Chain A
Amino acid sequence: MKKTLLTICAAVALLAFVPFLAFETAAAKPAVINVYNWGQYISDGSDGLLDVNAAFTEATGIEVNYSTYESNESLYTKLKTGGSSYDVIIPSDYMIARLISEGMLQKLNYDNIPNYASIGESFKNTLYDPNNEYSVPYFWGTVGIIYNTRYVDTVTSWDALWDERYSGKILMFDNPRDAFAAAELALGIDVNTEDESDLRAAAELLAAQKPLVQSYVMDQVFDQMERAEAWIAPYYAGDFITMHRENPDLAFCFPEEGFNLYIDAMCIPTSSTNKEAAEAYINFMCSFEAAAANAAYTGYGSPVNGVAESLELTEYERGIAYPSDEILSKGVAYLTLSKEATQIMDSLWLDVRTDASTTSWVTYAVATAAVVIIAAVYLAYRSNKKRKRAAKRRADADGAR
């Protein structure tokens, strides 16, 4: 019995090394790329649409390691922390400019991306990449307010996110840039302000909103809004269309004070070890089939010529995914803030999120101390009593002797 167990163990140990070796060789093969994208931002084969990553592998033989992030800031953290190399990332405009200025992106070889020609002219020579060297647009979109018409009166302004009637039913962005922009727009401040007092004012407004906020979320917004667990949330227009199809009670508003208009674009970070395969991926994403499937799945605005017209959207949906020029004129782009301003914003945001300053910790401290002291006294009392008893026993024994 024991002998067989032993042989089994040995066999398992030996077998265990086989995949190890296999993986080492797999890692050495060049045809794998690491793609790092936003969550819910690619057609994954559901809803009868094209599974884009699988189609890419089929067309080129290049395997895709696909993983997702929640915000530009967590993407930045991941890249900056190091240790992981990515071949294709899809940051937003302001983050692209920041990454370029910090030397974290590679220049693309557009000869390997022939489909770049089909990108609309209005998405070229942008502020974040003026000479079209580092990026290829993936999607564009707007930020607005999504609300449940059953519970919330018609929304026209960012102020609705501070409306106490909806206390506990408000969701808020879980990333500093979008959250600050909401507060800044509500205050009538420029979303690209670098002035410290402006940023502080926005942080104060966010802190004031905190007691009303149900939770700070990114893609959990889908579940929360569709099930009416939350009633009002600022989010991206493309995702509204997905939610609206699940729950027709939801409505979308382009706030009158203005709103963010953004472009997310594909880039290759300097840590990439497989630039040509990455460019092939970018090229594939710009092909009509891939772009159309992605646009249909995500609901975001595609920069690829002809895709927008080909989509099956209702009049209402089209008005939100591809708004009129009149509405778009109110959109503002985020620009990269100076290092100092970014730092201030990040630390203010952390304060808002962690609520360090306002937690009434004294009660907790007193209560904790009380419990600890009671436990300590009890245990000390017990061991004291025992010691006495033991001493007494010893004394008795001595006496007896």
Chain B
Amino acid sequence: MSRALKIILIVVLFFLYLPIILLIAGSFNTGTDLAVFKEFTFSNYVALFRDRTLIPLLLNSLIVAVLSSVIATALGTAAALGIRSFGKRFRSAVMTVTNIPMTNPDIVTGVSLSLLFVLGGKLFDRSNVLGFTTLLLAHITFNLPYTILSVMPRVTNMDPSLREAAMDLGCTPVQAFFKVVIHEILPGIVSGLLIAFTMSLDDFVISYFVYGPSFATLPIEIYSYTKKPLPPKIYALFTLLFAMLLAVLIVMNIVSGRADKRPRCSNITQLVFRRKDVEKT
């Protein structure tokens, strides 16, 4: 039984990583065809660094991801604190709406936002409404539910007397908030920020409907590349991103593994948790 499980695990991991290995091999290939490995080369990496569009697009992606995750986290944390004090009816109504972008297929979210932006553009007579701003607004919108739902449990579990104690000890409400409340819910904020960041960095479908000519992100460019003969420098970029992510995750895992004394739930698994909780709420 146990051995069979192990075999399945290994086979599935192989299945998950096979295409990635192929792409990495493709980045060192002189030919353009992934299926035929000709000769080993670094020239694709050279081409990548000479490229004037891909690196700026990667920066664009990072800018959108950082901005949208930070704004979504700020808004979402405030919302989570506020929603808690709502009446039961209103709270569940708000949470139902909050869940919409998460349950909705991405394509529907993308389409609905693009229709809104285009209608808004017509209303305010701005022909070039699609661009950085719309992309950012869309990313914040689909990040918000994740941040709210990752902060929410922390807020619910928070002991209200802590805050009162702080105020009794002479803190103003604002001080009490920053000195006590934030500390209590910080893990939720951090994990919300991280999910939002990765979601935003990797998003293609929603961005595809709301980007404009003046500002695109890396996944959109990759999409347009996959409709043409693919230059192998894309594989080089993929490999670099993969290596970076791998490094970040390993470091994060070691750090959180040391900091976290509870047996399960490293930071990473917690992220997943939230995603799952989300489906349930």
In the complex, A touching B, CB below 8 Å? yes
Residues of A within 8 A of B (CB): 1-2, 5-6, 9, 12-13, 16-17, 19-20, 23, 27, 32, 34, 36, 39-40, 54, 65-68, 70, 81-86, 218-220, 222-223, 226-227, 271, 273
Shortest Cβ gap from B51 to chain A (Å): 9
With an 8 A cutoff between CB atoms, is B219 at the interface?
no
Q: Which 7 A-B pairs have the closest CB atoms?
A: A85-B128, A34-B213, A83-B130, A271-B127, A222-B229, A219-B228, A83-B118
List B3-22 residues whose CB lies under 8 Å from chain A: none
Residue of A nearest to B67 (CB): A16
A82 touches B182 (CB 8 A): no
Shortest Cβ gap from B130 to chain A (Å): 4
Q: In the complex, A87→B121 CA distance in Å?
A: 18
Query: Which of the listed residues B52, B114, B186, B229 has the most CB atoms from chain A within 10 Å of its own CB?
Result: B229
How many residues in B have their beta carbons less than 8 Å from beta carbons of A?
Answer: 38
Residue of A nearest to B211 (CB): A84
Which A residues lie within 8 Å of B183 (CB)? 2
A39 touches B121 (CB 8 A): no
A interface: dominant SS? mixed
What are 7 residue pairs bridging A and B, where the CB atoms are less than 8 Å apart in the complex? A20-B63, A36-B213, A54-B52, A82-B118, A83-B129, A219-B228, A222-B228
Query: Which of the listed residues A1, A12, A84 has the most CB atoms from chain B within 10 Å of its own CB?
Result: A84
Residues of B within 8 A of A (CB): 33, 35, 52-53, 63, 66-67, 70, 74, 114, 117-118, 121-122, 127-132, 134, 182-183, 186, 189-190, 193, 212-216, 224, 227-230, 259
B186 touches A2 (CB 8 A): yes
Which B residues lie within 8 Å of A68 (CB)? 224, 228
Shortest Cβ gap from B136 to chain A (Å): 8
B228 touches A32 (CB 8 A): no
Shortest Cβ gap from A216 to chain B (Å): 12
Which B residues lie within 8 Å of A27 (CB)? 131-132, 214
Shortest Cβ gap from B138 to chain A (Å): 12
A6 touches B182 (CB 8 A): yes
A9-B190, A83-B134 given; name 12 further pairs at CB < 8 Å: A2-B183, A13-B70, A54-B52, A65-B213, A65-B214, A81-B114, A81-B118, A83-B128, A84-B127, A84-B212, A219-B227, A223-B33
Residue of A nearest to B190 (CB): A5
Which A residues lie within 8 Å of B216 (CB)? 67
A34 touches B190 (CB 8 A): no
Shortest Cβ gap from B215 to chain A (Å): 8
Q: In the complex, A66→B74 CA distance in Å?
A: 34
Given contacts A19-B63, A23-B132, contact A83 B228 (CB under 8 A): no
Residue of B nearest to A82 (CB): B118
